[in-house]
A and B are shown apart, each in its own frame.
Chain A
Amino acid sequence: MSDTPERLRYMADQIARNFAAQGEDRAIAATAEHIRLYWDPRMKARIMAEDRTHLSPVVAAALERLERGLA
């Protein structure tokens, strides 16, 4: 994890992995909420700008949720 985008991808994925046991829908909502509550705006902007195909499906869905203002 040498640069910030890589670190942010890892952090988002780690959050999603820890919510995974709650089932996919809840994991998506919880991941989105977690990022909204605890990440600084520049971190949010940075992960939003990532290529979603490189992210885990739960993280990608969570970011989409965040974008739509649902978290």
Chain B
Amino acid sequence: MGYERQRDFGTPEVSAPTQVALTVDGRAVTVPAGTSVMRAAAMSGGAIPKLCASDNLAAFGSCRLCLVEVEGMRGTPASCTTPVAEGMVVHTQTPRLQKLRRGVMELYISDHPLDCLTCSANNDCELQDQAAAVGLRDVRYGYEGANHLAQPADASNPYFDFDPAKCIACSRCVRACDEVQGTFALTIAGRGFASMVSAGQAGDDFLSSECVSCGACVQACPTATLREKTVKQIGKPERAVVTTCAYCGVGCTFRAEMRGEQLVRMVPWKDGKANRGHSCVKGRFAWGYAHHQDRITTPMIRDAITDPWREVSWDEALAFTAGKLKAIRDRYGARALGGITSSRCTNEETFLVQKLVRAGFGSNNVDTCARVCHSPTGYGLKTTFGTPAGTQDFDSVMQADVILVIGANPTDAHPVFASRMKRRLRQGAKLIVIDPRRIDLVRSPHVEAAHHLALQPGTNVAVLTAMAHVIVTEGLVDEAFVRERCEVDAFEEWARFVAEERHSPEALEPVTRVPAADLRAAARLYATGGEGRSDVSRRPKVNAAIYYGLGVTEHSQGSSTVMAIANLAMATGNIGRPGVGVNPLRGQNNVQGSCDMGSFPHELSGYRHISDAATRALFEADWGVSLDPEPGLRIPNMLDAAIDGSFRAIYIQGEDILQSDPDTRHVAAGLAAMDCVIVHDLFLNETANYAHVFLPGSTFLEKDGTFTNAERRIQLVRKVMEPANGFADWQVTQALANALGLGWTYTHPSEIMDEIARLTPSFAGVSHARLDAEGSLQWPVDAAHPDGSPVMHVDHFVRGKGRFVVTDYVPTDEKTGPRFPLLLTTGRILSQYNVGAQTRRTANSVWHVEDVLEIHPADAENRGLKTGDWVRLASRKGETTLRAEVTDRVAPGVVYTTFHHPETQANVVTTEFSDWATNCPEYKVTAVQVTPSNGPSDWQEDYAALSARARRVVPAEAAE
């Protein structure tokens, strides 16, 4: 593909049952009723001149350039705001229109700098294009009059500049901020000639305004007014390659716009079904880490973690590693070896790592970071519905009437999906938020939750059981759905259980701290879309959808909460059609994929248990090995076994468990006890402080493969530049496998996907060729669903009948008391991603340079704290220091922080408690004390010294 912008049809696509036929410049065209004349003209191959119109924004009709003549209509209507009509005859170019358009353009250009040759938008500028299209040859007004050319530029945003001298006041940026992003940070200040785009309040610049730097305005700008700094620095791209973002589980697709091997900019791909042409600050702008000076590109080894690193050749590193692994296996057996697959790597790479562990190491000790995020989703949804994945596609939210968000903060953690959700909320859908913290969705411009249930951390099951109590005892169950689609005995047992008086909102209020009346109203709204029983029989049935995140899973009852959510959806008949469902918002880009690929120690790809002899036989025949029929160790179990001496070597691809996993001291002790820790990553991450082998990794820009997002959508990742380290990650894993004598011969990731498809029924119809042709596929893609599955469980559940599971509230054993009277809960922020390894190495840090502790004014007052003070955050596991931010976003008794920075290392204080079913850590509930502090904790000082020692490197020459 050469470089050209994606086609713009001028106004949004309309779907309507009736079709309308018309002619445009003599061309017959049939379009859905409600389509604009402008879009109909574009669909029939034309291009009416336009400046203020764009097909991702509602028609605005301000630029007066898109005028047309319609036979039988008076005047020259704007084609963007004129809907088509049957038999309409449209002329887009007449002497009258030509004269009008030239006149309009003359006015625009009379107040526009004529520096096209040195402008960053040169040859990529809609104003320039339209001047050409209307045949502008002269500006009769001259350039001397009052103008805006001396306006100062605003370069405060690290990624784009705002140059008002080039602004034509078309409002596209303002409308993109409102309609696409939903932040409402921009406005047109002033009137008439004084009209100016303005970010935030008077006196704000872009950086100090509410702007979230999603870049929708930059993408919308038809001139160089809002422009990526990289385009200014590098120039216009020469080609564009569609690829998939490597940040969160939304899985946005982008055009990587390139010049040579240099990435110029990322522009969201309009045809991408996950993001529909939108992006966030991370995906669009935060890719500079790929070239950061900290990137390690040479393999390194050492005998002991107290030694400095020695740079070596790939051959030497692989021989050293294979030698160590073989020696450990010979002495301690295969079960002493294991690996961790990465949710930041491709499906193909993940599949190879688990294959290496199972077929090469000979154990099932493979796990993935989903252990610490969405493993309860896997357990809970498999138990109730029969498949461990979300039920809907993202488009589904546009048909939801009631949206229940529990334990998720989409505007920070899944921003592009949050923008779609906010769009639906602005259209009138009702919102229920269940979260201990007042997240932005609770109240933000043009969005307000009907109910915010600010529960006590750790009481999710109690709140959901109380909601179920209301639904059952007030007669709000969708009995027809339950009878037809679910196991009736299990339903009846569940209904009896939740109906007990001890599960009423009133009885549970002392535990949950949610006012019973609010909880009842929220339950009625979810079940009926209205206020209760009188709304039950409403037709058409109201669609209610549940979206949840790690605030559900990362608890000692994470799996129970997922099942309680599934119970609610089944009881109210909200499964199996667009607009409803149970939707886990996945943390990392390929969490879904890494789980699908058999990364868990108890199951092979496609969620088939390792004890199933028939499935094992399939893999054994394909791989030519025999597999251990017993489940392997999960990450926390690996660390325990390491301390006990029975687990001694680990291959970790693209994970930083020292920073991301709970109870840092325990993780450190486990890693330190191992004989061989192999870290395969971009950077010397925190885990690498305990590693003996460092294998340099590659970024998503440097390899081919696929990611699977939170809607089960499989999308291609395409290589746009050579790996800085010389190899894509799948090649490194293959080299390690071959150093162990496995004789793998993959020449391209598509061959790995073919193997996955061959061995995994739900991927049977997936291949790179098909993904290339169709853009994306949502699994299952099999004989019954040849084109994939946007919505699951349509006619029946994957397991047959839906299964209600009684979920009793079992309080966590992490209790507050006199020593640790507050509850800490942790989360994420928009600009940083996970442990921050990537985003901290970009300009995103201007928005978040350190983790801060949110504390309620009452708790701060008691401790004499004010915003900006250093505080000591201590639990029974450990302590750290960070700055306080006093805010009523958190309730009294609750404090909150993020885990993006290794200097804070919030996980020093989190505990070893975990989900009963999956060992997913209880990150969201830690009893803590907060006190004033005047310096770093002992752990912080010791760890900083250890890091400095562990990161010493002896270059290859000096090692001779």
Residues of chain A having any CB pair with chain B under 8 Å: 1, 4, 7, 11, 14-15, 17-18, 20-22, 34, 36-43
Contacts and interface: CB of A to CB of B under 8 A. Distances in A.
B912 A42 contact: no
A43 B365 CA distance: 13
B630 interface: yes
A46 to B, nearest CB: 9
Contacts of B307: none
B557 interface: yes
B497 to A, nearest CB: 7
A4 B632 contact: no
Contacts of B917: 15, 18, 34, 38
Nearest to B365: A40
Nearest 9 CB-CB pairs, A to B? A21-B808, A14-B916, A18-B916, A40-B633, A4-B640, A41-B630, A21-B806, A17-B810, A15-B916
Contacts of A17: 810, 916
A18 B810 contact: yes
B601 interface: yes
Contacts of A11: 916, 919
Interface in B620-670: 630-634, 637, 640-641, 643-644, 646
B808 A40 contact: no
Given A1-B912, A18-B810, A40 B644 contact: no
A16 to B, nearest CB: 9
Given A37-B609, A42-B335, A4 B630 contact: no
Contacts of A36: 611
Interface string B802-813: 000011101000
B12 to A, nearest CB: 48
B602 interface: yes
Contact of B556 (A1, A14, A20): A14
Contacts of A15: 916-917
Nearest to A7: B640
Given A17-B916, A18-B917, A38 B631 contact: yes
B560 interface: yes
A61 B646 CA distance: 28
Interface string B238-282: 000000000000000000000000000000000000000000000
6 contacts: A1-B912, A15-B917, A20-B808, A21-B806, A37-B609, A41-B630
Nearest to B646: A42
Contact of B335 (A4, A7, A14, A41): A41
A43 B639 CA distance: 13
Given A17-B810, A18-B557, A7 B912 contact: yes
Most B CB contacts (10 A, CB to CB) among A1, A18, A20, A40 go to: A40
Nearest to A12: B916
A14 B643 CA distance: 22
Interface residues of B, number: 31
B875 to A, nearest CB: 14
Given A1-B912, A20-B808, A42-B335, 4 more contacts: A14-B556, A14-B810, A15-B916, A18-B557
Nearest to A20: B808
B646 A37 contact: no
Contact of B808 (A1, A14, A18, A38): A18
**From DSSP, what is the main secondary structure of chain B's interface residues?**
loop
A52 to B, nearest CB: 20
B469 to A, nearest CB: 14
Contacts of A22: 806
B643 A4 contact: yes
A49 to B, nearest CB: 13
A22 B643 CA distance: 36
Given A14-B916, A22-B806, A42-B646, A37 B602 contact: yes
A39 B839 CA distance: 36
Contacts of A18: 557, 560, 808, 810, 916-917
A39 B364 CA distance: 11
Nearest to B461: A18
Contacts of A38: 602, 631, 634, 917-918
Contacts of B643: 4
A40 B912 contact: no
A21 to B, nearest CB: 4
Contacts of A42: 335, 641, 646
Contacts of B641: 4, 40, 42
A17 B630 CA distance: 25
A22 B631 CA distance: 26
B286 to A, nearest CB: 37
Contacts of A14: 556, 810, 916
B912 A21 contact: no
- Among A1, A42, A43, max chain B CB count under 10 A is at A42
A17 B637 CA distance: 20
A17 B601 CA distance: 24
A21 B912 CA distance: 25
A43 B631 CA distance: 10
Nearest to B603: A37
Nearest to B812: A14
Nearest to B610: A37
Nearest to A41: B630
Given A21-B497, A21-B806, A40 B637 contact: yes
A50 to B, nearest CB: 15
A40 B334 CA distance: 13
Which of A7, A11, A18: most chain B Cβ within 10 A?
A18
Contacts of A1: 912
A21 B560 CA distance: 12
Interface in B166-207: none
Interface in B79-119: none
A11 B556 CA distance: 11
B706 to A, nearest CB: 28
Contacts of B640: 4, 7
A43 B497 CA distance: 33
Contacts of A34: 917
Contacts of B557: 18
Contacts of A20: 808
Given A14-B916, A34-B917, A39 B808 contact: no
B877 to A, nearest CB: 11
Interface in B415-474: none
Contacts of A4: 640-641, 643-644
A42 B601 CA distance: 14
Nearest to A44: B630
Nearest to B636: A7
B306 to A, nearest CB: 25
A41 B630 CA distance: 7
Nearest to A34: B917
Interface in B554-610: 556-557, 560, 601-602, 609
A32 to B, nearest CB: 14
Contacts of B916: 11, 14-15, 17-18
B365 to A, nearest CB: 7
A70 to B, nearest CB: 15
Given A1-B912, A14-B556, A15-B916, A40 B806 contact: no
Nearest to B556: A14
A41 B633 CA distance: 9
B599 to A, nearest CB: 15
A22 B489 CA distance: 13
B495 to A, nearest CB: 14
A38 B600 CA distance: 10
Contacts of B602: 37-38
A17 B633 CA distance: 22
A36 B612 CA distance: 13
Contacts of B609: 37
Contact of A40 (B611, B632, B807, B810): B632
B890 to A, nearest CB: 28
